[in-house]
Homo-oligomer: A and B are copies of this chain.
Amino acid sequence: MATSSFAFFSLYSTTKCSSLRENDPNNNKSSVRVNGTSIHELSNFSIRTSPAYTSVASVIEDLMVEKNRQNIPTEKRMVDPFRQGLIVEGGVGYRQTITVRSYEIGPDKTATLETLFNLLQETALNHVWMSGLLGDGFGATHGMIKNNLIWVVTRMHVQIDEYPIWGEVVEIETWVGSSGKNGMRRDWLIRSHLSGHVFARATSTWVMMNQETRRLSKMPQEVRDEISPWYIEKQAIIEDVPEKIIKLDNKAKYVDSNLKPKRSDMDMNNHVNNVKYVKWMLETIPVSFLEEHQLGSIILEYRRECGSSDIVESICEPDEEQDDDDDSKEWPKRFTHLLQNKGEEKNEEIVRGRTTWNKKLPTCP
């Protein structure tokens, strides 16, 4: 098994819109189309029409800088005592024990969706960290570096059956697998440490982008040879035909305009972080609904990253007219979401979303 073949993928976005050279006429000449059996989004676009995702280019550069992260291991490690992490699944999966902290919970004293997204990112990074490859770049394999390729995330799907409570000890397991001809999947399971009961499941899809041309790329054979030994076939969420998310327009029921990223919304690459996207999406939903419902699943389709100067609009449409007073209706309820960048001439999609909601259980007296 290759210990030098691993792929990184920050859930936080790291690409500047402007770096994608959308308006560069040379980009029109040879746009690469990437098709894959399970990366359904890719079958319908080329890099020219959907120019942006999430790259880790600047992170790779940054990791060359000293003092960015402490004690970067040069070899694969089986145990990380400080992070309470372990290599599992025959040496290719990763499991970490985490206790839900006081500031990671919401008004109902359970972990927030934001916390879960943060922990998915954290465990994915620690998985790569344990692989001993961080010295060679931020998760890109040797073959990827040679070919000037980076990972970009195109899709996330998170299903939450139960939110862990404050003080709960959870085990987060993560692993990677194949996704079509040119993609990679990363999955997660969040379980109760005590009972093994699964609280949440997540899956994500990643493709490769040429760091220079900013175009999507096929996966070179040498990269496939590096990565595939790390693949585990099991899937956290079985998606034979991933749900298609329609594009909303401004006639949608709920619109929050003029959203401006704050300095504290920026990640380490000075771009709006992924968690902020989710917040913007959910804050469009009326508070009265949020108070009585709990998010059961969220799907995000990433289209374009945005920077600190962008002005964002969050649009949201319920699946049907919902009457909050009518408890006889069936649960869960569903919403379609869109975040777009309000450009001077046209709007540019940042991310499409789909959320499913369950009625909250009444709080214990």
Can you list, as one digit per residue, whether each of A190-202 has a CB less than 8 Å from chain B (1) or not (0)?
0001100000000
> Given A99-B82, A118-B101, A365-B65, A107–B266 Cβ distance below 8 Å?
yes
Can you list, as one digit per residue, whether each of A96-108 has a CB less than 8 Å from chain B (1) or not (0)?
0101011101111
As for how many copies of this chain the complex holds, the number is 2
> Given A97-B82, A263-B287, A165–B67 Cβ distance below 8 Å?
yes
A129 contacts which chain B residues (CB < 8 A)? 167
Closest Cβ–Cβ distance, residue A77 to chain B (whole Å): 13
Candidate in A262, A264, A282 with the most chain B CB atoms within 10 angstroms: A264
A22 contacts which chain B residues (CB < 8 A)? none
Contact between A364 and B66 (Cβ–Cβ < 8 Å)? yes
Can you list, as one digit per residue, whether each of A57-69 has a CB less than 8 Å from chain B (1) or not (0)?
0000010011111
The answer, yes or no, to whether A109 is at the interface (CB within 8 Å) is yes
A101 contacts which chain B residues (CB < 8 A)? 118, 122
A97 contacts which chain B residues (CB < 8 A)? 82
The answer, yes or no, to whether A136 is at the interface (CB within 8 Å) is no
Can you list, as one digit per residue, whether each of A124-142 has a CB less than 8 Å from chain B (1) or not (0)?
0100010000000000000
Distance between Cα atoms of A67 and B100 in the complex (Å) = 13
- Find residues 191-248 in chain A having any chain B CB closer than 8 Å to their own CB: 193-194
A108 contacts which chain B residues (CB < 8 A)? 268
The answer, yes or no, to whether A169 is at the interface (CB within 8 Å) is yes
The answer, yes or no, to whether A348 is at the interface (CB within 8 Å) is no
Distance between Cα atoms of A102 and B8 in the complex (Å) = 13
Interface size on A, as a range, is 35 or more
The answer, yes or no, to whether A83 is at the interface (CB within 8 Å) is yes
The answer, yes or no, to whether A357 is at the interface (CB within 8 Å) is no
Closest Cβ–Cβ distance, residue A162 to chain B (whole Å): 11
Minimal Cβ-Cβ distance residue in B for A275? B103
Contact between B275 and A167 (Cβ–Cβ < 8 Å)? no
> Given A65-B364, A264-B112, A363-B65, A167–B103 Cβ distance below 8 Å?
no
Name the one of B72, B103, B165 contacting A118, with C-beta atoms under 8 angstroms.
B103
The answer, yes or no, to whether A89 is at the interface (CB within 8 Å) is no
The answer, yes or no, to whether A253 is at the interface (CB within 8 Å) is no
Contact between A268 and B107 (Cβ–Cβ < 8 Å)? yes
A363 contacts which chain B residues (CB < 8 A)? 65
- Find residues 252-290 in chain A having any chain B CB closer than 8 Å to their own CB: 262-264, 266-270, 273, 275, 279, 282-283, 287, 290
Can you list, as one digit per residue, whether each of A287-300 has a CB less than 8 Å from chain B (1) or not (0)?
10010000000000
What are 15 A-B contacts defined by CB distance under 8 Å?
A10-B102, A62-B109, A67-B165, A70-B194, A82-B169, A103-B121, A106-B266, A106-B268, A107-B266, A107-B267, A107-B268, A107-B270, A108-B268, A263-B283, A264-B282
